[in-house]
Structure 1
Amino acid sequence: MTDTHENQPPKAACAWLVRLPEIFEGIAADVLQRFGAISSTRLGQDYYLIKTATPEAIQRSEVAKFARWNLPMDHTWPCNAQKMDGFIEKAAQTLIKKFGERKPQGIFIGTLHPTSPDKYYKGLASNLRGRVLQLFPKLAAGAVEEQDATAETLFCLVGKEGLFCGMQSPRASNGLYAGGSKYIDQDAPDTISRAGAKIAEALHYLLLHRPPLKEGSHWLELGACPGGMTSELLARGQRVTAIDRAPLDKRLDGRPGLKFVLADVAEFQPRAGTTYDALLCDMNGPPEESIEQVIRLSRSLKKGGLVVFTLKVPRIENVEEPCELFRLIASMSKAAGLSLLAQTHLTYNRHEFTLFLEKPRD
């Protein structure tokens, strides 16, 4: 009998753009190797252009959690746009010729250096998108949050390294924006802490996987002090029961929709019959202990209730230890009846990942 696998030709390598947050720079080579990278070129602050015969590993392998965003490279144009006459028109004509018949639901263009103080490429990206939209027929998604998470979008990134484009669904890419990140202004005068940016981005990311919670939904927040996340939830019309041993920022005093309980999370017990739509945990300390409290209190979640859990890793010095800790937390959650909906590394995460869990609807 002939082994059919032996007769199959090897897969051809394809170009792929992956975004590994700068905090993972020390393990980037190992992660890229596990993605099957035959070669890699660093672009921008934390992008890598790789060639791989196993792109499925980027989205479905155990180390996929280290890639914040990914995109197949259907068109790459290494160039210095700043020194080129007519770059916008040349690029726009190329995009309509190459992608017009594929009918993307939307077109979104970002920069390879999104946090750079130099605004040139941010302006270039905006002007290029404007010209491209003039050439394409009317698109179904004119704004980021209008996208169908499962339909293909044309994403492009531009920078001093050139123009890099591809089509893929936002869910497969792991983000609704080109580059995957929604940047939040942390310098606003009413900002209580950077944790507020985390939950704001987390709720945006969640649109990839389920509809947003209705206004007036009731959240149970564990370890809420000083109240950065609490403030963001209240600003979105949510109700919050916040638990912490330390008081919240005084700016939250008297806010409608807020109930604060000054107590240790481990000692808190909801009043009989109380149910919540969602549970939020960003507590410090060993994640094994934090998830035990989440599991205990998830009994008060409604069917289909959401859990947003920050998995805090002591240090990320290799690939194996974070993955082992992740497996433990996922296993504990599953045993308690909570299903893992998604996981990602948000822009405002450090040595941590954000996990999204759900309570069964049946």
Structure 2
Amino acid sequence: MSQAAETPSIPHPAAWLVRIPEVLEGVAEEVLKRFGAATQTRLGKDYYLIKTLTPQAIHLSEAAKFARWNLPMDHTWPCNPQKMDGFIEKAAQTLLKKFGDRQPHGLFIGQLNATSPDKYYKSLASNLRGRALQIFPKLAANTVEEQDPTLPTLFCLVGKEGLFCGMQTPRLSNGLYAGGSKYIDQDSPDTISRAGAKIAEALHYLLLHRPPLAKGSHWVELGACPGGMTSELLAREQRVTAIDRAPLDRRLDNRAGLKFVHADVATFTPQPGTVYDVVLSDLNGPPHESMDHVIRLSRFLKAKGLVVFTLKVPKIETVSEPCDLFRRTVKTATAAGLRLFAQTHLTYNRHEFTLFFEKAG
């Protein structure tokens, strides 16, 4: 027997790009440890380039909820694009050479530092995608929301640190955009509160798991004041029964599709025969109390109906404490016939996670 045959093979570490939101930076080291990171390099504000022997932990460990987005690194090109002649053409040809035969169904390129006021890399990402699409075989998904979440997309991120690319399904990456975030314009004079951006992004995120909700779907919103989420839902032609002890913003007065119940959520009981498509809870206060309200009202939720639940946690200083709270909350919901099918930390979440449940059919 040869020496090569006698020597056991050693697994090769997988390179992976992981995005841990800046608000969760205090637990990033612990999260990466749970992902099995043997090495790590910080890229931009939120990203970590790691090498791990256990990449499955990025998707399956309980710490996965702390990573907003992830991508296997099939190609990395450390460089300074701003100082390189012909970067766009060289990068586009490299993408075609390395990924053209793998037939991605979409190609999307974003910035490593998407919130930077410097527009150079936003323009560079757009121009690079434009050139790559000219030379790639025709792709099935032309826009972000045309993607099939179960088919591999070629995602790339570009910044002053270089170009970082990989192929993975949007569902496994936990986002339809390169980087995972759908940024919502909050500068409009019609914006009532930042909570509106949370539900707008949550609806976009849901496309990873379900078809879009039909127009006219009936939501019951718990703790709706001042009405940021209500406003966004009405703008999408949804019907909303909004409940709160405090009044809604006057800009929502007489809005079509809105019923406002000026009451404590704990005392609200729908009329017999009422059926909701979605229960929405962004309540402040102890999560077990919020979930109790959701469970009580889920009796009026149709089979396969949706629950969008914001899990508020104390200031996140460890991984274990939020995970314990998460497990208890999900256990309570599961016992009541609500199945968790997705969870994430949205761009507009702070010390909180957004959980998605479906009522048993």
Matches within 5 A, 1:25-174: 25-174=25-174
Residues 267-303 of structure 1: per-residue CA shift (max 9 Å, x gap): 0001011010001000000111000000110010001
Q: TM-score, normalised on structure 1?
A: 0.97
1:313 aligns with 2:313: yes
Kindly provide the amino acid, as one letter, of the partner of residue 192 in structure 1: I
Partner of 1:337: 337
Rounded to whole Å, the distance in 2 between the matches of 1:142 and 1:161 is 27
Rounded to whole Å, the distance in 1 between the matches of 2:161 and 2:21 is 18
Rounded to whole Å, the distance in 2 between the matches of 1:180 and 1:194 is 19
SS at match of 1:158: strand
SS at match of 1:289: helix
Partner of 1:324: 324
Partner of 1:253: 253
Residues 93-136 of structure 1: per-residue CA shift (max 9 Å, x gap): 00000000000001000000000000000000000000000001
SS at match of 2:343: strand
Q: TM-score, normalised on structure 2?
A: 0.98
Partner of 1:298: 298
> RMSD in angstroms over aligned alpha carbons?
0.8
Q: Once the 2 structures are TM-superposed, how far is the Cα of residue 12 of structure 1 from its aligned partner?
A: 1.4
Kindly provide the amino acid, as one letter, of the partner of residue 188 in structure 2: A
Kindly provide the amino acid, as one letter, of the partner of residue 299 in structure 2: R
Rounded to whole Å, the distance in 1 between the matches of 2:218 and 2:26 is 40
Rounded to whole Å, the distance in 2 between the matches of 1:242 and 1:325 is 27
Rounded to whole Å, the distance in 2 between the matches of 1:137 and 1:122 is 24
Q: Once the 2 structures are TM-superposed, how far is the Cα of residue 8 of structure 1 from its aligned partner?
A: 6.3
Q: Once the 2 structures are TM-superposed, how far is the Cα of residue 24 of structure 1 from its aligned partner?
A: 1.0
Partner of 2:4: none
Rounded to whole Å, the distance in 1 between the matches of 2:26 and 2:239 is 40
Residues 156-186 of structure 1: per-residue CA shift (max 9 Å, x gap): 0000000000000000000000000000011
Partner of 2:353: 353
Rounded to whole Å, the distance in 1 between the matches of 2:359 and 2:29 is 36
SS at match of 2:57: helix
SS at match of 2:357: strand
Gaps of 5+ in 2: 1-6
Rounded to whole Å, the distance in 2 between the matches of 1:167 and 1:337 is 36
Matches within 5 A, 1:264-283: 264-283=264-283
Q: Once the 2 structures are TM-superposed, how far is the Cα of residue 11 of structure 1 from its aligned partner?
A: 2.3
Identity of aligned residues (%): 76
Kindly provide the amino acid, as one letter, of the partner of residue 71 in structure 1: L
Residues 38-58 of structure 1: per-residue CA shift (max 9 Å, x gap): 000000110000000111100
Count matched residues.
355
SS at match of 2:233: helix
Residues 297-321 of structure 1: per-residue CA shift (max 9 Å, x gap): 0010001100000000011010110
Rounded to whole Å, the distance in 1 between the matches of 2:86 and 2:175 is 30
Q: Once the 2 structures are TM-superposed, how far is the Cα of residue 232 of structure 1 from its aligned partner?
A: 0.3
